Chains A and B, each alone.
Chain A
Amino acid sequence: MPEPGSNRMPETGAFFQRDRTWHPPVLTPDYKTSVLRSPQKALLAFDNTASELTGPVFGHAMLGELDNDLIHNFARPGESAIGERIIVYGRVLDERGKGVPGALLEFWQANSGGRYRHKKDGYLAPLDPNFGGCGRTITGEDGGYAFRTVKPGPYPWPNGPNDWRPSHIHFSIFGHAFAQRLITQMYFEGDPLIWHCPIVRGIRDKPAIETLIAVLDMQATIPMDARAYKFDIVLRGRRASLFENRPEGN
């Protein structure tokens, strides 16, 4: 069955293996919570079965009108969130460079002062009565997405005695398969806190960290309204079916 709105057949091949030297390892002691929450035994590796090659798909029909507008989706009528108005946009691609259509993106963040709307966040910076901090969207046919928000502020956290998270937006991404499931964080170009952060520095390669830093795009900026940041996300790609040595299914 072709994908909705597409003349392509769905791909069903196995995925490239994850490069776990590119991702952060499970144990990164400078990020203290990882010490007791990291498996110590080796992972069990096997080629994808149907259980990993399939995954839930979400239709655009589930989206509300303001789901991709964090400035307004929690605000009282006629009001808006306080902070630097920005647009975040980009594409979801696979490792072969192809756009991933129909990918559900969910994002969450602190307000412009670095305070989360969560009962476990005790930071003394105030809540913004017009800002909830969650949004979602689904990529179009070319894998493109966009949402509107305010730039989140940095905030302190109880790790080292004086650790501050850089400004960041959390992203959760569904591709087409459970094997592609990914959560990551987006950072902002030029933020000096990025290079101090133990969560960021869990990623060992600087070029890998740089792929999580969104770039300011003055061409996409809306004059007198909002600046724009571009952030592309790459999910695991499927191996091209060259020669299969084992039949699938029956």
Chain B
Amino acid sequence: MTQSLDRLKESPSQTAGPYVHIGLTPNFCGIGGVYPADLGASMVNDKTKGERIGLEIRVLDGTGTPLRDALIEIWQADANGLYNSPAELRGAADPDFPRWGRCPSDMETGLCTFQTIKPGRVPFRDGRLMAPHVSLWIVARGINIGLHTRLYFSDEAKANAEDPILARIEHPVRVPTLIAERKGDSYIFDVHLQGEKETVFFDS
């Protein structure tokens, strides 16, 4: 016998199910009067610093069909590359960009739309700068554990080329699955859950 590590196990994940909206976006699914607004529905205000952008994200299943019951949360740095979090020790983030964002798929089109700002660059663990990116967390019916990935920007080719995470992807052919295409003031990003164009998902 040896000593016990005496550590707890993380609670196992379970799917968010088809009715995730009831708990996380009740106003979206018609349950009014409980919360004044759905959490994470708005990310910027008039004073937020940085370039306004839209993100138009869909999640597609193994047949290429958009999920109409997914929910995406995004987390990103402010325009200066600082996170609004107690664990951010490099400086004070923009107080007018306080939150993360949350959006359910449109029940007809499957589209999730975020109005946000282009994030600044954040240092990797060794101090090298990562390319501007938005962290995504995706849950839905049929997804047993929330999927983490990142959205990078098509007009940041130089930064993307030196990004330490993108550089870790063994097959360069898969790198484009993390890069959103610019269209006007918006970026279009399709997340493929499986198949040939499968998005790179993270364990971090």
Give A24's nearest chain B residue, CB to CB: B144
Task: Tell whether, in the assembled complex, residue B203 and residue A18 are in contact, meaning their CB atoms are under 8 Å apart.
Answer: yes
- For the complex, count residues of B whose C-beta is within 8 A of A: 83
Mask, A96-114, CB within 8 Å of B = 1, is: 1100000000111000000
The smallest C-beta distance from A74 to any residue of chain B, in angstroms, reads 6
Interface of A, secondary structure class, is: loop
> Quick one: which of A24, A118, A132, A246 contacts B125, CB cutoff 8 A?
A246
User: Which residue of chain B is the closest to A58 with respect to CB atoms?
Assistant: B39
A73, B34: Cβ atoms closer than 8 Å: yes
* B198 within 8 A of partner (CB): yes
B139 lies within 8 A of chain A by Cβ: yes
Q: How far is the CA of A132 from the CA of B23 in the complex (A)?
A: 10
Inter-subunit contact B29/A132 (CB<8 Å): no
B176, chain A: closest CB distance, angstroms: 14
Interface-forming stretch among A142-150, A171-179, A221-229?
A: A171-179
Does B86 count as interface, using CB distance less than 8 angstroms? yes
Q: How far is the CA of A23 from the CA of B13 in the complex (A)?
A: 6
By the criterion CB–CB under 8 Å, are B86 and A1 in contact? Answer: yes
> Is A185 within 8 A of B83, CB to CB?
no
Known A44-B169, A45-B204, A49-B125; judge A57-B86 contact (CB<8 A).
yes
Q: How far is the CB of B25 from chain A (nearest CB, A)?
A: 9
Report how many A-B pairs have Cβ atoms within 8 Å: 279
Q: In chain B between 176 and 192, which residues have their CB closer than 8 angstroms to a CB of chain A? A: none
Q: From B125, B139, B195, give the contact of A248 (CB < 8 A).
A: B125
What 0/1 pattern do residues 189 to 212 of A give for CB contact below 8 A with B? 000000000011011000011011
Q: Which of B49-57, B108-116, B129-137, B153-161 contacts A (4 or more CB under 8 A)?
A: B129-137
- Confirm or deny: B89 has a beta carbon within 8 angstroms of a beta carbon on chain A: yes
Q: Which residue of B lies closest to A116 (CB)?
A: B19
The residues of B that contact A247 with a CB separation of less than 8 Å are 126-127
Q: Do A181 and B85 have beta carbons less than 8 Å apart?
A: no
A118 to B107, CA, bound (A): 12
Q: Chain A residues with Cβ under 8 A from B145's Cβ?
A: 20, 23-24, 26
A67 at the A/B interface (Cβ < 8 Å)? yes
A24 partner, pick from B12, B16, B148, B202, beta carbons under 8 A: B12
In angstroms, Cα B198 to Cα A170, docked, is 28
Q: In the bound complex, what is the Cα–Cα distance between A55 and B18 (angstroms)?
A: 25
User: Whole-angstrom distance between the alpha carbons of A106 and B107 in the complex?
Assistant: 22
Which positions in A face B, CB cutoff 8 Å? 1, 3, 10-12, 16-20, 22-26, 28, 31, 33-41, 43-57, 62, 64, 66-67, 73-74, 93-97, 106-108, 116-121, 132-134, 136, 170, 172, 176-179, 181-185, 199-200, 202-203, 208-209, 211-212, 233-237, 246-250
Seen from chain B, the residues whose Cβ lies within 8 Å of a Cβ on chain A are 6-24, 26, 29-31, 33-36, 39, 61-63, 67, 69, 73, 75, 77, 83-90, 98-100, 107, 122-127, 130, 133, 135, 137, 139-148, 150, 165, 168-169, 174, 193-195, 198-204
In the complex, 25 of the A-B residue pairs with CB atoms within 8 angstroms, ordered by the A residue number, are A10-B87, A16-B7, A20-B203, A22-B10, A37-B61, A39-B199, A44-B200, A49-B125, A49-B204, A52-B135, A54-B75, A56-B85, A66-B34, A107-B23, A118-B18, A132-B22, A132-B31, A134-B35, A172-B16, A178-B100, A182-B11, A184-B12, A211-B11, A212-B14, A235-B10
